[in-house]
Amino acid sequence: MSTSAAARHAPGRVPGEGTAARARGLTKAYGAGETAVLALDSVDVDIARGRFTAVMGPSGSGKSTLMHCLAGLDTVSAGQVWLGDTEITGLRERELTRLRRDRIGFMFQSFNLIPTLTAAENITLPMDIAGRKPDQAWLDQVIDTLGLRGRLTHRPSQLSGGQQQRVACARALASRPELIFADEPTGNLDSRAGLEVLGFLRGAVDDLGQTVVMVTHDPGAAAHSDLVLFLADGRIVDELARPTAERVLERMKRFDGARGTGAARED
Ligand SMILES: Nc1ncnc2c1ncn2[C@@H]1O[C@H](COP(=O)(O)OP(=O)(O)O)[C@@H](O)[C@H]1O
Ligand SMILES: [Mg+2]
């Protein structure tokens, strides 16, 4: 595929809307020589601004690597990544750190909260470290939307899994980032707590105008998104707009079948 064709037809592209993040020819190899692993194989993708994008694919297909490279948390082996209009591949570490801090929120599967700090302290920790004062009105809105008002003085051990993930969600949102990445944010939660977090991410997009990219294994979780990108062996092999759990499941089965017969689909 030529570069110009890729520019026009990258998965995730929604004509007429801005692009929050973009990659062209994004390639990531771990290790070298015989033992090298190609985690991402020349991925072209556009993440539409103000939309909720889900990323699915088998374990080891490159989902986390894609998130980390788009978020500037990991270096790339080849290709280019932009956040908004800024190309981040090639930025110096200091510039990248600042840009990540100002524009990106990241939610990990394991909530990564500091056990000795209260919920409120955990939420503002990244901003405290950066020496930035939170926008109190925004912070209040995030805390109330996430239903954390009555839990602010609790430590993580005094909170349920769902509450802890909501604190992690509030932390990702506290600096009002343009773009939120969530790597299996419901993976460690029971279904009710998972629904709370999904409802919030959906609300962050619909009510607060954020852009969300979420990795999930769960067709039901993916159904909360606007668009599902399917990864296999480090490539985006398909996408599904306005997903329902049934259609996602159907698509996943099709890939399992294709993988079984060795017939890889080229997009
Ligand atoms: N730090 C690393 N060192 C070596 N190989 C890695 C590293 N991180 C990921 N990989 C490999 O890259 C591939 C993609 O991994 P990952 O992005 O974590 O997949 P997923 O999130 O879809 O499960 C896998 O084969 C994985 O083993
Ligand atoms: Mg992963």
- At residue 9, the pLDDT reads 54
Distances (CA, A) of 187 to 70, 147, 162, 214: 21, 20, 11, 11
- 24 in a structural domain: no
Task: Decide: 171 and 126 in contact? Cβ < 8 Å.
Answer: yes
- At residue 217, the pLDDT reads 94
- At residue 3, the pLDDT reads 45
30 in contact with ligand 1, CB cutoff 6 A: yes
233 Cα–ligand 1 center, Å: 10
63 in contact with ligand 1, CB cutoff 6 A: yes
With CA atoms as reference, report the closest residue to 23 among 96, 101, 83, 103. Answer: 83
Provide the domain count of the chain.
1
Domain limits for position 103:
48-68+91-256
- 2 in a structural domain: no
How far is residue 142 CA from its own chain's centroid? 18
Closest listed ligand to the CA of 187: 2
- At residue 18, the pLDDT reads 87
- At residue 15, the pLDDT reads 46
- At residue 10, the pLDDT reads 67
217 Cα–ligand 1 center, Å: 16
Q: What is the 3-state secondary structure (H, E, C) of 165-176?
A: HHHHHHHHHCCC
- At residue 194, the pLDDT reads 85
Closest residue by CA, ligand 1 atom 2: 30
28 in contact with ligand 1, CB cutoff 6 A: no
- 206 in a structural domain: yes
225 in contact with ligand 1, CB cutoff 6 A: no
- 98 in a structural domain: yes
- 73 in a structural domain: no
- At residue 178, the pLDDT reads 86
**Segments in the chain below pLDDT 50:** 1-7, 14-16, 260-267
Distances (CA, A) of 167 to 12, 107, 137, 155, 172: 29, 10, 17, 10, 9
Closest residue by CA, ligand 1 atom 13: 39
- At residue 82, the pLDDT reads 96
70 Cα–ligand 1 center, Å: 15
- At residue 16, the pLDDT reads 45
- At residue 257, the pLDDT reads 64
CATH number at residue 230: 3.40.50.300
